[in-house]
Amino acid sequence: MRRTVRFGVALALPVALAATGIAVAGEHGRGQVPRTTERVARQVLGPHDGWAALGPGTTGGSAAADEHVYVVRDYAGLRAALEGGRDNDTPKIVLVDGRIDADTDDQGAPIGCADYADPGYDFDAYLAAYDPAVWGWDEEPSGPLEEARERSYRNQADQAVFEVGSNTTLIGVGDDAALVGAQMMVDGVDNVIVRNISFETAQDCFPQWDPTDGEAGNWNSEFDGVSVRRSTHVWIDHNEFGDGDVLDRDLPEYFGREYQVHDGLLDITHGSDLVTVSYNHLRDHDKTMLIGSTDSPAYDVGRLRVTLHHNKWENVLQRAPRVRYGQVHAYNNHYVIPATPEGEKTYQYSWGVGVESRLYAENNYFDIDPGVDRSDVVAHWKGVRMYESGSHANGRSARNRVSFLEEYNAVNTPLIEGQAGWEPELHDRIDPTRAVPAQVRKAGVGRIL
């Protein structure tokens, strides 16, 4: 359901959804949404603003009736407002007021890893059982302890993961709206807008050890900040994404490998399509954005069309983004790349050229540490082509122009062809590269409300 809604009608906020028996948690008062908040909450994506504008465009919950506009101030209230998850396609606007912590029960009391742990799970016993000196390197963990770890993870997922239905706008109020310890799942839906929220990723309490992952094994975790799967017409705008107070550099090591409790910040996978990601700030993270999660052509061919513009990528190690299959237009982004973004860890790459990907990068600005090899900005992940133009590094004048693709090709094989095989047509004004840092200062929360 999509229709244009005129701004200017005051919206009454219900204390509870008595007709359906759902109490929206938090201390709501019946009253009116301020006119500015109402206007921004009902905004729709512009008609030329990237891939998500294709066809009917992206309008989110702009058509929501008064009784489907909610202000939420705690996690129970958020889940109540979104009741039905992907099956609830009623147009709705959910305004996030303040900091909402997913690690709380329905009464607002804090809960944590010990509450999610299955009775059969013991971390010290897990380490002892799957130590490579005991278990070996050739098989993934199995048996009662691994099964208990999986059940523990499922317990946490039941709490941390919340679903959003079609025709929804989720928007923060003011400059302090935050979702902490949650994973927002946009799965199998259409027409979703997410704006003005700080996402602090969930910490996986129960990472899995996999000795077969890479040459030295790895700890793998499951939770993203936002996960877009099997969905279309999604606009993600003016948000912030990071790991909060628990950074990778602070994590311990087991079996000589970092005990990784974070996954992605914002992943777009499983055949999703027509997504615009604009004016977001992504920071202090390792595997940041994945567009396409498998080399298999099962469901991604002809999809994964994504626009990335005016985002700030600061202190991120890799996947900014890593692309498979999709036609991805990345323009006017600002990259800040120190030599050691995560303290002990080092920068890996920004643009990952994956299987059958068609990355089109133009007028992006880089503040890149002199200690970083510029040929590392582009990484080959079985892809054969990308287009790049207008990149600048460490300055706004003509002498600061650089081609990171040429830098890659100068020292690597196989070579990556310099044509993407398509040319973006659906976009707003593309700023000159010298203007990008100033424009991208508008990214993040607190800029639109």
For the annotated catalytic residues, the residue numbers are: 319
- Find where tokens 């030295």 sit: 216
Helix (H, G, I), strand (E, B) or coil at 79: helix
Give me the phi and psi of 244, to 5 degrees please. 65, -135
- Here the tokens at position 180 are 């902490």
What tokens appear for 367 in the block? 């503040």
| Nearest of 389, 373, 386 to residue 433 by alpha carbon | 389
Q: Where are the beta strands (DSSP E) in 57-122?
A: 69-72, 92-96, 99-101
Q: Are 340 and 347 in contact (CB under 8 A)?
A: yes
CA torsion sign for 350, 266, 72, 47 is positive
CB within 8 A of 86, min separation 6: which ones?
163, 164, 165, 166, 187, 188, 189
Q: How many CB atoms lie within 10 A of CB 204?
A: 23
Q: Kindly provide the residue ranges of all beta strands, DSSP E only, lying in 140-250, ordered along the sequence.
A: 161-163, 168-172, 178-187, 190-195, 198-201, 208-210, 218-220, 226-229, 232-237, 240-242
Q: Do 377 and 351 contact (CB within 8 A), yes or no?
A: yes
- Whether the CA torsion 74, 77, 81, 86 is positive or negative: it is positive
**Bridge partner residues of 257 (DSSP):** 254
| Cβ 118 vs Cβ 198: under 8 Å | no
Q: Is the distance from CB of 403 to CB of 388 less than 8 angstroms?
A: yes
